[in-house]
Amino acid sequence: MKRLILISLVTLMGALTMLTGCKGTEVSANPFFETWDTPYGVPPFDRIKTEHYMPAYEAAMKEHLAEIEAIVSNSEAPTFENVMLAYDRAGLKLEEVNLVFSMLVSCVTNDEMQKIQAEVMPRLTAHNDEILMNEALFTKIKAVYDQCAALNLDPERARLLDKTYTEFVRAGALLDAAGKEQLRKINGELTSLGVTFGQHVLAENNAFELVIDESQTAGLPEGVRAAAKEKAEAKQLTDKYIITLDAPSRIAFLTYAQDRGLREQVFKGYIERGNRNDANDNKQLVLDIARLRSQKAKLLGHKDWGSYVVSNEMAKTTAAVYDLLDEIWTPALEGAKAEVAEMQPLLNADVPGATFEAWDWWFYADKVRKQKYALDEEALKPYFSLDNTVRGIFELSNRLFGLTFRPVNIPVYHKDCSAYEVLDADNSLIGIIYFDFFPRASKNNGAWCGNYRIQRYDNGERVAPIVSIVCNFTPPTGDKPALFTLEEVETLFHEFGHALHFLLSDVKYRGLTWTEGDFIELPSQVMENWAVSPEMLRLYATHYQTGKVIPDHLVKAIQNSAKFNQGFITTELVAAALIDQDIHSITDFEPFDVNVFERDALNTRRGLIPQIVSRYRYPYFLHIFDGEYSAGYYFYIWAEVLDKDAFRAFKSTGDIFNREVARKFRKEILERGGSADGMTMYRKFRGMDPDKSAMLIGRGLMEEPITLPVGVADVSLGE
């Protein structure tokens, strides 16, 4: 999931009344200056124009500062109500504008949107700094914080006070004037560099095209060929086929194309993005970002950026992160080596004397999967149409939480989008969800879930969230619907888990919306466990033409192959988490060669085999250089300990749809946002600490569960 930059500051009290900096645009013409009378108050996408954003940002920031000034200038003694609650309510219009823009610039961008992004993001950073380093405001917050014990606050208010105080301290509120000025400069530079990094990666994705003819499509399934032909025809290329770096095109080509040389071109086209010494090269940006983060961490009293980030997460220390990654690395790498040894003879049967290379992996892994497990992805895809998969997710949500999804006719930002209202068991509105499934040039790669409106309370009434899932899945071709791979199915379940977390949120204070990063992946990853469970498959995996339920032999093949290729999958994932931690563990920054640093970290020091490339290399590692996961890519692995243990709670009842366990998961995890720390919430749900064995078994890194006394686990994350 790509977590967007959110305004975690306070919100505007009143509607905007004037337009500043809007040349040639009337107030009434800008939808951001109106109360949206759309169904459910969704953004009026059909009316929002590119020229509306800058005026809206400028006016919203101005009004936000006025709200902060009202708190600061209040002559009454600081109280929880006139400081903390006022702060928590301020900045709502700015949040609204930023949520809409940040989502759309990721999925329907253009040159003008990118120009606005490059201009407004540093200004937004400066705006946030102006508030978070406001001495008078922090003095009032600290005055309330210092009397916390005497205030008799309930747990949620105490948590809000503590989180807010900590946010200010981590943002530099305790620095002297010179330190604050230095931090402002660093933050501005980091924001600009991140925006440029992301725009370079998008440009690289769009720049690569492999144009081939009929003879070079050998091995490609009909659907892959049809999609490649449609891309070529859209560019007026006759009797040609275009392969792109979009996941459905790239992965299918690497899996099925018989031409080894062409597979190499596609693979290298992907892993060399941002690394070609041209206008989109990101290596210097990587160095600049790493240097500035190192400086920022030291300025704020931490030895390195990793320590700064992780100290505010469940893990608490980078040592705990490395301990988990190192424990997984060795068995995963050994598994990967065994997988190469199994595939090498297959390569040599095709190309005598050839050495197995990274671009061979998908092709020969598919051959082994078919031989050992009689599992053919192409034979599975007819059972995983888009409609079936979405229907299955809706059915699962109903069985677990009593939710109902009904299509609604509301404004959308692209013709490929669909929208649903989400109703609770009592038919009350939970929220709105948009789906945007297919690749396009204006959309970033990957899959993510974000918000157009975050759940909150206004005058005691819950305001329903507006959530969106954005993906880059296999599109329909000809008269065939979109048919998904297993990986795409699991990805959709994953992002839907994030959506449920946002939709079911029920927190009183906006400052308690978010929890720790290494906890926030729990609700998403736990959903993946249902995706291919036999009981679940029989509910939704039906043939798109015949309507027949997926046959038992395919269900069995899916289960038998669950641990197949896990050496590769786990190694490339952990490799990315390790290089993230390594570059953010630099204490005394000196310029270095980015490629050499990466190679030394993985191949030289940790023995990564040349047949595997890290899931993300530095020059296109968006999660950590243009996202919210710097020094935090380990989140996925850390949360996997939680998600596998949480799913075990369902399985142990003999019913993976157990409503009572689901009710507890909703109450203690999904509804609570950041109203308690992650471990506290998890223990309330599970009644014990998470047991790491479920994750290790699931990845094939451990044969038998660890036997422990009742109520005792072998790992205490974050303790």
Question: Please, which pLDDT band fits residue 704 given cuts at 50, 70 and 90?
Answer: low
Six token digits for residue 684: 């309330």
Strand, coil or helix: what is 311? coil
Q: What is the pLDDT of residue 7?
A: 35
Distance separating alpha carbons of residues 96 and 93, to the nearest angstrom: 5
Catalogue all structural domains in the chain, each as residue range(s) with its CATH number.
27-132+134-174 (1.10.1370.40), 208-271 (no CATH), 381-557 (1.10.1370.40)
Interacting residues of 56 by C-beta distance below 8 A, sequence separation 6+: 30, 32, 33, 97
Q: Which residue has the higher pLDDT, 3 or 568?
A: 568
d(CA 497, CA 502): 9
Task: Indicate yes or no: pTM above 0.95.
Answer: no
479-513 burial, b at 16+ Cβ within 10 Å, e below that, comes to ebbbbbbbebbbbbbbbbbbbbbbbbbbbbbbbbb
Which secondary structure element, helix H or strand E, spans residue 489, and what is its range? helix 486-503
Provide the pLDDT for residue 24.
40
Instruction: Kindly indicate the confidence band of residue 1, based on its pLDDT and cuts at 50, 70 and 90.
Output: very low
CA 101, CA 87: separation in Å to the nearest integer? Answer: 23
Is it the case that residue 159 has pLDDT exceeding 90?
yes
**Does the structure show a pLDDT above 50 at 710?**
no
**DSSP conformation class of 265:** H
Name the pLDDT band for 39 (thresholds 50, 70, 90). very high
Lowest-confidence region among 490-499, 591-600, 699-708: 699-708
Residue 709 has pLDDT above 90, yes or no: no
Is 190's pLDDT higher than 70? yes
**How sure is the predictor about 702, in pLDDT bands with cuts at 50, 70 and 90?**
confident
User: What is the spatial distance between Cα 339 and Cα 337, in angstroms, rounded to a whole number?
Assistant: 5
**What whole-number distance in Å separates Cα of residue 229 and Cα of residue 212?**
10
Mean pLDDT (whole number) for 471-496: 96
Is pLDDT of 115 > 60? yes
* Cα 624 to Cα 309: distance, rounded to the nearest angstrom: 12
Per-residue pLDDT reduced to its tens digit, 351-387: 999 999 999 999 999 999 999 999 999 999 999 999 9
Q: Are 646 and 497 in contact (CB under 8 A)?
A: no
pLDDT category at 302 given cuts 50, 70, 90 is: very high
28 has pLDDT over 90: no
pLDDT tens per residue across span 420-462: 999 999 999 999 999 999 999 999 999 999 999 999 999 999 9
Predicted confidence band at 4 (pLDDT cuts at 50, 70, 90)?
A: very low
Exposed, middle or buried, 155 (CB in 10 Å: 0-12/13-18/19+)?
A: exposed
pLDDT for residue 633: 98
Q: What number is the average pLDDT over the span 401-414?
A: 98
Name the percent of the chain in helix, strand, coil, to the closest 5. Answer: 55, 5, 35
Q: Are 20 and 54 in contact (CB under 8 A)?
A: no
> pLDDT, tens digit, for every residue of 412-430?
999 999 999 999 999 999 9
| Rounded mean pLDDT, 698-707 | 73
Closest CA to 210 of 252, 248, 240: 240
Residue 130 has pLDDT above 80, yes or no: yes
Buried-state track 72-98, b at ≥16 Cβ within 10 A, e below 16: eeeeeebbbebbbbbbbbbbbbbbbbb
Active site residue 521: no
Question: Is the predicted pLDDT of residue 632 greater than 90, yes or no?
Answer: yes
Distance CA 575, CA 517 (A): 19
Active-site residue, selected from the candidate residues 495, 572, 598, 640: 495
Distance in angstroms (rounded) separating the CA atoms of residues 8 and 531:
33
Q: What one-character DSSP code corresponds to residue 477?
A: B
- In the chain, the amino acid numbered 251 is I
